[in-house]
Structure 1
């Protein structure tokens, strides 16, 4: 378990993390969400002792990270897949980590096989594509067979097969009773992976709840109805005290009504329906609604001309075959 209590981090006058308190529990995948600049990476760095809190406390299974003996056997983390000595092979990179944490050499072969890098184990990491670097970072996190795993943007650079693989891996780790804490900007992927959500904005806790409750509390649910008899249906629903809103494509959106009840009313009055579908907002829509006031960096549509602040295009070299 990871426990944060009043965790705060200031850089001069800038408050990056503001009095965060929450727990990441075993047996589930906990998603860590927030807009850019919300303080997610700083929080993860403080969990691992890479940044010192200005105030508050964070513990891993009741102990500070710097007091853990052989920490990779307690918590494995992927924060930056590029944090690898490029001149070392994948095998030697993992072997160095293993030897510094009392982990048997055989375990290096096991995790290389788990992440699919055995065929390139002796290749230097500097030649790896982004996706292969991610796999190597995940192998490092798994190396000590820890009870707690923490991933920051683990699907970056992965192809569809790789994304499916890491999603399945995280779910299986949680099913084994491990603690899995994952940060990602890919809402569609988080919706498929996470059981619980911790959401922060401008360093403050905004939500600490289950995925289902988060979407329900921060989104609009309605029933979409389409019929060739719009006037009759509108009259029937109005008589039942149900308010409808017409959409641009000729359908109705009904708030506060159940699809079953609407269908029964239509059938009773012989109104033909071509569509009757309950609609629930996506995780992305719920997230955008909750964090609207916490977004620090706003993009604005313009004429498309590049000005002094526009980033230059950058090309990336080819790596080894695999995700790039």
Structure 2
């Protein structure tokens, strides 16, 4: 488990990380999200002891990183795909890491096979593509078979097959009971990968909830309906028995530009029952769930530090 307790990092008058507290628990993939400049990379560097906190602390299974006798056997991390010395082969890079952490040499071949680099193990990493560099960085993170893993933008440079592979790998690691923290700006991928989300903005914690709860809290969901009898539909949704059921709330319907109706306040089954009771024909009845990207944009709107323009002055 990774535990942060009131972690703060200041550079002069600027706080890159501001009294940040949260825990990353085993058995699930935790997505670490935030706009550019939110403090994600600084936080991850402090977890690994690469930056010293101004105040607060980080613990890995109850111990600071500096107290770990063989760090790669406790936490593996991918922060920069270009971290390998370009003149070394992929195999030699991993051998150097393994021997410096008392990891058996045989483990090098195992992780090269896991990441799909066995055939190029003897080639210099300086000639690798971005995607191959990512795979080598992931191999280094897996080298010590650690219980805690941390990945920063792991899908950068990967093709669709590679993205599916890393998604499956991370979910498999979590299913094995490991602690997995992954930072990414690719919201569609996070929606498929992360069970839990930690969201920060301007160095402060904005959310620490399940992915599903985060979307439900921060974005709009509705039921899309198409009908040749719009007035009859509105009458059905506004009828006395529509709000008489226990726990029922007010149902609202708004017309959309494409001729459909967007209905909130009731699930599809309830809407279908109300329409059927009054003989309203429905051509479409489909739930529209908000995306993680929509929820993220709404949550972090006030925490974005760098705003661009569309080039036309807007």
Interval of TM-score (by shorter of Structure 1 and Structure 2)? over 0.9
SS of alignment partner, residue 41 of structure 1: helix
Structure 2 match to 1:281: 290
Structure 1 match to 2:245: none
Structure 1 match to 2:255: 246
Q: 1:113 to 1:222 in 2, by over 3 A?
A: same
SS of alignment partner, residue 53 of structure 1: coil
Structure 1 match to 2:247: none
> Which structure 2 residue ranges, 5 or more long, are not aligned?
243-249
Structure 2 match to 1:47: 47
Structure 2 match to 1:263: 272
State how far apart, in whole Å, the 1-side matches of 2:193 and 2:71 are: 26
**Is the deviation greater in 120-129 or in 229-238?**
229-238
Q: How does 1:125-274 map to 2 (within 5 A)?
A: 125-239=125-239, 240=242, 242-274=251-283
Structure 2 match to 1:315: none
Q: Deviations over 1:38-85 (max 9, x none)?
A: 000000000000000001000111111111111000000000001111
Q: Deviations over 1:172-205 (max 9, x none)?
A: 1111111001001111111111111100000000
Deviation at 1:168, TM superposition (A): 0.6
State how far apart, in whole Å, the 1-side matches of 2:265 and 2:226 are: 17
State how far apart, in whole Å, the 1-side matches of 2:110 and 2:235 are: 67
SS of alignment partner, residue 19 of structure 1: strand
Q: Deviations over 1:111-130 (max 9, x none)?
A: 00110000000000111000
TM-score after normalising by structure 1: 0.92
SS of alignment partner, residue 298 of structure 1: coil
Deviation at 1:255, TM superposition (A): 1.3
1:68 matched to 2:68? The reply is yes
State how far apart, in whole Å, the 1-side matches of 2:134 and 2:29 are: 19
Structure 2 match to 1:318: none
Structure 2 match to 1:300: 309
Deviation at 1:133, TM superposition (A): 0.1
SS of alignment partner, residue 238 of structure 2: helix
RMSD: 1.1
State how far apart, in whole Å, the 2-side matches of 1:151 and 1:278 are: 34
1:16 matched to 2:16? The reply is yes
Q: Deviations over 1:253-307 (max 9, x none)?
A: 1111221121112112211111111221111111111111101111111239xxx
